[in-house]
Amino acid sequence: MMATTVIAERIAAHRAPDDFVYLLVDPLAGCAPEYALSPSSLAATLGEDALVSVPRPDLAHTVGACPILVRLAGPGHAPDADLLDRTEQLALAETGHRKRYGCGCLLSPLSADALAEHIAARCLTFSASASGGMSPWFEPLRLELLAAAMPDTLSSALWPIRTWLLPTSWGEIAMVNGAPGASSLVPAIACDAQRDAALIALLLSAWRRALQAPLSFAPRPWQGRTLLPPQAAASAFRMIRQARQRGVTDSKDLLALALHQETIHPQLLRFEPLRDALHRATPGHASGVLAAYGNVAWSRIAAYLNEAGEGA
């Protein structure tokens, strides 16, 4: 007998009687046609009318590239257990991918057409630009960042999505809930996180590689059961943001410094000699500055910061 998946358990626990069960997939990530969750396979299994294109504003005229909302079950009907199992397997298998095909399972009383329009409209709501533009906020990493940056206000922006079962950057299925409420402005920090999403994805990839081949001195290695620590994307954004606030602007420098912060000490820039050396360096050469510090120096810096009460 197949073990009940986390996704199946949470659908059973949180689904309201009038909720549809949906799967959202992103063809831009690529999917082999023969795979059970490919658009063609899902259409053959569930029927063509179970798949609805989400007209994201920047790709509305390229339907084949738009996300696809798949109706797995209508109100009063149970979704296919095998499809839920495959959805969870996909979520876990894609944890280390920069682009994910599976964007999660959604519970909502909206019809597929209405929900697709709602998701597309929120691409403008969550834009990283104050003067227009859009954000593909439904991508798992971006939604994870929104959940971290908008803990008290995201629910009203999601509604009438009741629950979004979200594949996370660290390798688990998180639950993001919507609820009725007054709409509010998207905070600047959430827009900043959307703007930095591509850079955060690069940092997460580097962080995963560093855990496989750690620095010779790395007192903060993650040794838990998941690929990265919980809230990994939010932590990566915090490191990048702190570096920017300290005057680091080059993307290569931000990545090199943030990776050292994640593995050695989160407040490295509070060590004045290192901060000054980075400020003197030519943009793009932070890695050379950091490489000049050996294990003994890193050990002393970390000890100094811990004694000064600047630990994580």
Integer Cα distance of 287 and 108 in angstroms = 47
Tokens of 106: 């959604």
pLDDT given for residue 312 in this prediction: 45
**CB contact at 8 A, 25 and 46:** no
174 forms beta bridges with: 166
- Cβ within 8 Å of residue 87, ≥6 positions away: 5, 7, 23, 37, 102, 105
DSSP 8-class letter at 162? -
Which regions in the chain score pLDDT beneath 70?
A: 1-4, 130-132, 214-215, 310-312
pLDDT given for residue 294 in this prediction: 87
pLDDT given for residue 310 in this prediction: 47
pLDDT given for residue 264 in this prediction: 87
- What count of other Cβ atoms lies within 10 Å of the Cβ of residue 296? 9
Integer Cα distance of 225 and 202 in angstroms = 22
pLDDT given for residue 3 in this prediction: 52
pLDDT given for residue 200 in this prediction: 96
Integer Cα distance of 60 and 210 in angstroms = 39
**CB contact at 8 A, 240 and 200:** yes
Looking up tokens 């909302």 gives 69
**Cα 208 to the chain's mean position, in Å?**
15
pLDDT given for residue 166 in this prediction: 97
pLDDT given for residue 209 in this prediction: 87
